[in-house]
Each structure stands twice: as C-alpha cells, then as structure tokens.
C-alpha cells in the first residue's frame, strides 16, 4: 500500500533545500517550477523548448525526451516529483519509471482524463485531475465576470 503524503509534507522533511523534479511538456510545468524555485532546488524535465525558456534562472532545465532515463536522471536524488503531461499514457509511463527505476517515494500526477484514475492510483502518491481544476477555475471566473451565471 502506498503512503499518501502531500508535496508540502515531503519537502518539509528534507534537510536543507528540498529537491523537486517537475516533468512536463506544458507551460504549467515552468509555472510550477517558478512557484517552488525560491524555496526548493527545482529541476524541470521537458521536451517543450518554449516552456523551458520560461523557467527562472535558478531552475535546472533538461530539454529532451521526457520518457528517457537520461532525461529523468535528475530524479536520482529528488525528494519529490510532479508529472504533468498532455498525454496521460506518457504520464503513467514516467510515473512507473520514477517509482521503480529511481525509487522516488513521492510522485504527484496530473491526469487529464478522470477515467484514467484507476490506471495510476496504485503507482502515484497523489493524483490531481487537471480537467476538474480547469473546469472549477473557469466556472469561478465566469461567475465573477457574468453574475447572471451564478448558481441559484
């Protein structure tokens, strides 16, 4: 059975600055790296040059095939990882690699399709549904912009 921990709990347990690996082919990955960079040693693995270019100077960036062991080598001494990719199948593969090849205890996965939860819940520490987050945020913005859409 997998112990469920939060990213904050994992990073707080480390001596010195924690190391966070972000594996993403989206701009959300560079935004997440930016959010944690001042307090953690953040490493971004991406195949998206534009997303890599938006990372702060303090973030170590690897641009290449996100499924290759060479690109994921920064996971060897990471305290936690976040996997946020366009393709859920690729996210599942990378999560398996991080857990089995690099023995990474804490892996948070952002899924796009909530129906794929079962395929990942046994290997990921935490699952986040990107579609649900996006829909919730969009609804909040629409209700703010157009009060007539507020629920009755």
Q: Is residue 2 part of a domain?
A: no
Domain region containing 136 = 7-149
Whether residue 147 is predicted with pLDDT greater than 50 in this model: the reply is yes
Looking at residue 70, its pLDDT comes to: 94
How many Cβ atoms from other residues are within 10 Å of residue 144's Cβ? 10
- Kindly state whether residue 66 falls inside one of the protein's structural domains: yes
The pTM (predicted TM-score) of the whole model is: 0.80
The answer to the question of residue 111 being in a domain is yes
Instruction: Convert the pLDDT of each residue in 84-130 to its tens digit.
Output: 999 999 999 999 999 999 999 999 999 999 888 888 888 888 999 98
Report how far residue 8's alpha carbon sits from residue 6's, in angstroms, rounded to the nearest whole number. 5
State how far the Cα of 92 lies from the Cα of 111, in Å rounded to an integer. Answer: 9
Question: Residue 49 pLDDT more than 60?
Answer: yes
In a domain, 1, yes or no: no
Domain total of the chain: 1
Neighbours of 128 (CB within 10 A): 13
Q: Give the Cα separation of 81 and 20 in Å (integer).
A: 6
CATH number at 138 reads 3.40.50.720
Chain centroid to CA 8: 13
Any domain includes 15: yes
């Amino acid at each position: 059975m997998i112990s469920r921990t939060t990213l904050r709990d994992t990073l707080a347990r480390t001596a010195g600055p924690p190391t966070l690996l972000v594996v993403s082919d989206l701009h959300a990955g560079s935004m997440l790296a930016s959010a944690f960079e001042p307090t953690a040693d953040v490493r971004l693995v991406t195949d998206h040059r534009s997303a890599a270019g938006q990372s702060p100077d303090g973030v170590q960036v690897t641009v290449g095939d996100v499924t290759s062991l060479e690109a994921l080598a920064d996971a060897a001494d990471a305290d936690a990882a976040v996997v946020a990719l366009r393709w859920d199948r690729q996210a599942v593969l990378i999560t398996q690699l991080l857990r089995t090849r690099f023995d990474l205890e804490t892996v948070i996965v952002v899924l796009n399709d909530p129906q794929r939860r079962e395929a990942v819940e046994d290997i990921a520490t935490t699952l986040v549904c990107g579609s649900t987050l996006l829909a919730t945020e969009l609804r909040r913005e629409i209700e703010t912009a157009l009060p007539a859409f507020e629920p009755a």
